[in-house]
């Protein structure tokens, strides 16, 4: 009888083990960018420099900036807006893309040739006219000057790069031609290029202005990369930093690493 009663009692279900390691909420893309910029600022300060940065994930719209509205020397990075204005003038029929014009563009971008850049500024009507054109297009915080002496805010340069990439400024053929020229850039391999994986497509323009005595007035790089399935703009402008080229370049390479890490997460 007792055996029969015991058999009739339903078995007690095995309890589900309690999860003592709850899932941690994913770190957002914005949080990684902001923390990374804070770390980069610290590295720049150890070199005595001021770092201006803007990073924009064009795909998601997430962005972060450090001194993003600070006017900083562009050095050779000013060749980017000059090149954009040249292609813009060609698209509008105000300038012809002759063999000489194309040669000046290549020398300006590939060789960081300020003489070629000044010749193209002259073709655009001079620096005052070129700056008026930039203002009309919505970039008043980019100021061009002969001899690579222009300055800009990181945020304005990032906006320019994003708009070029999105086809907002140039006709498709001109957009493709300009980005192809920047993708073939071989200068400053220790900056953004060093921070991205070798298989990442990077179109960029570096700039350097030496101040002598182991200090650079400007150590810059501005580019757009295809990384983790996203389009990311990185503008880095390091002013008045000591410590040698390798250490200055490493600060900028670190920003590319931050962008790579951030774009592997959720927005």
Domain assignment present for residue 3? The answer is no
pTM, 2 dp: 0.89
CATH at 107:
3.40.710.10
Parent domain of 223? 27-183+191-262
Task: Indicate the DSSP class of residue 22.
Answer: P
Domain assignment present for residue 233? The answer is yes
For residue 122, what pLDDT is reported? 98
Q: Residue 59: CB partners within 8 Å, gap ≥ 6?
A: 229, 230, 231, 232
For residue 26, what pLDDT is reported? 52
For residue 1, what pLDDT is reported? 42
For residue 180, what pLDDT is reported? 96
**CB 147 within 8 Å of CB 71:** no
For residue 258, what pLDDT is reported? 97
Domain assignment present for residue 12? The answer is no
**Could you give the CA distance from residue 236 to residue 213 in angstroms, rounded to a whole number?**
22
Instruction: Give me the tens of pLDDT residue by residue for the chain, a chain 267 residues long.
Output: 444 433 444 454 444 333 334 333 456 999 999 999 999 999 999 999 999 999 999 999 999 999 999 999 999 999 999 999 999 999 999 999 999 999 999 999 999 999 999 999 999 999 999 999 999 999 999 999 999 999 999 999 999 999 999 999 999 999 999 999 999 999 999 999 999 999 999 999 999 999 887 899 999 999 999 999 999 999 999 999 998 999 999 999 999 999 999 999 877
Structural domain tally of the chain? 1
Work out the burial of residue 110: count CB atoms within 10 Å of its CB; fewer than 13 is exposed, 13-18 middle, 19 or more buried: middle
DSSP H helices in the chain = 2-8, 29-46, 79-92, 99-111, 114-123, 127-137, 154-165, 172-183, 192-195, 245-262
Domain assignment present for residue 8? The answer is no
* Pair of tokens at residue 108: 């300006």
Domain assignment present for residue 61? The answer is yes
Cα–chain center distance at 155 = 10
For residue 41, what pLDDT is reported? 97
Angle, helix 172-183 to helix 79-92, in steps of 10 degrees: 150
How would you list the strands of the sheet with 142-143, edge to edge?
Answer: 72-73, 151-152, 142-143
**Could you give the CA distance from residue 79 to residue 220 in angstroms, rounded to a whole number?**
12
């Amino acid at each position: 009888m007792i055996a029969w009663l015991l058999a009739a009692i339903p078995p007690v279900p095995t309890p589900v083990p309690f999860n003592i390691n709850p899932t941690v909420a994913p770190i957002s893309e914005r949080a990684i960018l902001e923390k990374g910029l804070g770390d980069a600022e610290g590295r720049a300060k150890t070199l005595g420099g001021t770092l201006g940065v803007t990073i924009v994930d064009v795909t998601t719209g997430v962005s972060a900036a450090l001194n993003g509205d600070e006017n900083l020397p562009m050095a050779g990075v000013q060749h980017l807006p000059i090149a954009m204005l040249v292609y813009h003038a060609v698209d509008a029929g105000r300038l012809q893309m002759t063999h000489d014009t194309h040669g000046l563009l290549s020398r300006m971008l590939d060789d960081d040739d300020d003489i070629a850049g000044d010749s193209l500024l002259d073709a655009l009507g001079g620096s005052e006219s070129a700056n008026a054109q930039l203002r009309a297009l919505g970039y008043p915080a980019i100021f061009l000057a002969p001899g690579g002496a222009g300055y800009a805010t990181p945020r304005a340069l990032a906006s320019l790069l994003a708009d070029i990439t999105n086809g907002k400024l140039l006709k498709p053929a001109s957009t493709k031609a300009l980005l192809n020229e920047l993708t073939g850039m071989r200068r400053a391999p220790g900056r953004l290029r060093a921070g991205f994986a070798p298989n990442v497509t990077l179109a960029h323009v570096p700039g350097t202005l030496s101040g002598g005595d182991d200090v650079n007035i400007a150590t810059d790089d501005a580019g757009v990369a295809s990384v983790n399935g996203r389009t990311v703009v990185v503008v880095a402008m390091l002013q008045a930093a000591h410590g040698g080229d390798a250490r200055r370049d490493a600060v900028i390479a670190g920003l590319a690493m931050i962008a790579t890490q951030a774009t592997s997460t959720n927005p």
